[in-house]
Amino acid sequence: MIATRFAIAGNVPIFDIDIPVGQLYFPDWTRYESAVKDIFDRRYYTNQGPLAQELESRLQQMLGVKHVICVVNATVGLMMAAEALELKGKVILPSFTFLASAQSLSWTGLQPVFCDVASNTHHIDVSKAKQMITKDVSAIMAVNLWGGAADITALEQLVQETGIKLYFDSAHAFGCEVNGQKVGCFGSLEVMSFHATKMLSATEGGCICTNDDDLAAKLRNIRSSYGAGHTVSVVKTSNGRMSELQAAIALLNLDDFEINRANNEATFLAYQKHLAGIPGLKLISPSGVSRSNYQYIVCEVNTEQFGVTRQQLLSILKAENINARRYFYPGVHRSVEFNSLYNKQKNALTITELLCETCIQLPVGALLDIDKVEVICNLIRSAQRNSAKLLHYLDSDS
Ligand code: T4K
């Protein structure tokens, strides 16, 4: 059935409560309550306690990586990574990412150099990155997006040829695989996010994965002296510790990870089926992976073919209590923090600019029943068919 009565035109919204956009999976309260009681009984709340240790060893096993260093969030994890890798000067990264990727560099005294992404994958364009390598560049930070991965083979070959370092912002990629190998094993290290809107939630949290013993020892010392094992010489230390309360949630959610991944996959397939053939709407499939976590449902909107702008479509959805969003907007190079730097760099970011103007993220995750996907898609299909009439109810710049 195609919806024809739109809330933007004054009708009752399709959904009576907000459908959020992110994962937001949390364990059953009684399981968490019992875990919290154990923490209180032990009277050991943080500083690399037993649950943080258990989480690290379970993640090491699951990801097949030698070292997992859990941290308070991925932003701090990325800052610790830049410090441990002893990076200098400039680091190449895509601008089509969350602000935190670049902020981790400015906080560690490094200069981001913004590279464009490939239009078919949304990931860093390796041939363009190659052209940007100068003697001041010490590393490439590739970002794995949408439950997909960058072209890891090409990146590894490039850093082998040039001798610079490679590491990954894998905030979106927990549980994904590339050629059957879990994300977490690539480059010098990878950083994952366990934010509430991510695939594995600890409310806030993250981890750094590496197979390099020396790097792991440095990272543990940078995180703090607690649980660092043998001390090694590092210039700066910090507090990047994960508390026991965070680790308890992550452990419980880890038990349910495969169910959640399968739900996300079914959700993606439902979107794929019900969005098929809508003019001007392109659903992005996770690229570069042999297994995805389907953490994000991302579409590109072509205004000419769809009939309303990306922003107008978001307003139509919002009126129905569907929280879709622009993602990422603006590009990091257009943010207040990095705009003047970018104006000096002047690298062409043509694809990034286009994607920042055209991408939307649709709801997925624990708070979305799969049968609602068809309703959302029918609404979008109907919005396209009725776009000319709907323009009457929409601000031109909304
Ligand atoms: N690298 C990349 C590529 C990233 O995407 C991120 C983070 C990072 C690095 C850094 O990782 P962390 O340091 O965060 O571990 C969210 C998240 O805060 C952030 O983790 C995430 N990426 C970013 C892309 O999205 P916001 O500001 O967009 O979230 P917010 O508050 O708008 O929430 C999204 C939706 O979820 C809304 O519909 C509200 C709903 N929501 C959110 C929270 C937190 C809830 O219903 N309950 C909640 O508790 O940043």
Question: Which of 197, 220, 255 is where one domain is finished?
Answer: 255
Q: What is the pLDDT of residue 4?
A: 64
- How far is the C-alpha of 58 from the C-alpha of 387, rounded, in Å? 50
The pLDDT-based confidence of 231 (bands split at 50, 70, 90) is: confident
Whether 51 shows a pLDDT value over 80: the answer reads: yes
Is the C-beta atom of 97 inside 6 A of ligand 1?
yes
Q: How confident is the model over 106-138, as pLDDT tens digits?
A: 999 999 999 999 999 999 999 999 999 999 999
| Owning domain of residue 276 | 257-393
Region of residue 385 (left: phi > 0; alpha: psi -120 to 50; beta: else): alpha
User: What mean pLDDT is predicted for residues 184-201?
Assistant: 97
User: What mean pLDDT is predicted for residues 203-227?
Assistant: 95
**Residue minimizing CA distance to atom 19 of ligand 1:** 195
Total tally of structural domains belonging to the chain: 2
Task: With CA atoms as reference, report the closest residue to 300 among 317, 316, 282.
Answer: 282
Between the CA of 363 and the centroid of ligand 1 the distance, in Å, is 13
**Residue minimizing CA distance to atom 12 of ligand 1:** 74
Helix 99-106 with 74-84: angle, nearest 10 deg? 40
Q: Are residues 209 and 94 located together in one domain of the fold?
A: yes
What value does the mean pLDDT of the chain take? 95
Is the C-beta atom of 104 inside 6 A of ligand 1?
no
Q: How confident is the model over 9-19, as pLDDT tens digits?
A: 999 999 999 99
Q: What number does the ligand 1 atom closest to the CA of 205 have?
A: 15
Q: What is the pLDDT of residue 397?
A: 62
Other C-beta atoms lying within 10 Å of the C-beta of residue 398: 15
Pocket perturbation via mutation, ligand 1, pick of 195, 296, 329 by most ligand atoms within 8 A of CB: 195
Q: How confident is the model over 91-102, as pLDDT tens digits?
A: 999 999 999 999
Question: Which of 239, 255, 271 is where one domain is finished?
Answer: 255
Q: What number does the ligand 1 atom closest to the CA of 323 have?
A: 38
Other C-beta atoms lying within 10 Å of the C-beta of residue 208: 31
Question: Which of 228, 255, 282 is where one domain is finished?
Answer: 255
Whether 225 shows a pLDDT value over 90: the answer reads: no
- How far is the C-alpha of 338 from the C-alpha of 139, rounded, in Å? 19
**In a domain? residue 398:** no
Q: What is the pLDDT of residue 1?
A: 42
Tell me, rounded to whole angstroms, the distance of Cα 329 from its chain centroid: 14
Is the C-beta atom of 206 inside 6 A of ligand 1?
yes
The pLDDT-based confidence of 234 (bands split at 50, 70, 90) is: confident
Percent of the chain with pLDDT over 70: 98
> Which residue has tokens 């009681």?
37
Q: Are residues 236 and 316 located together in one domain of the fold?
A: no
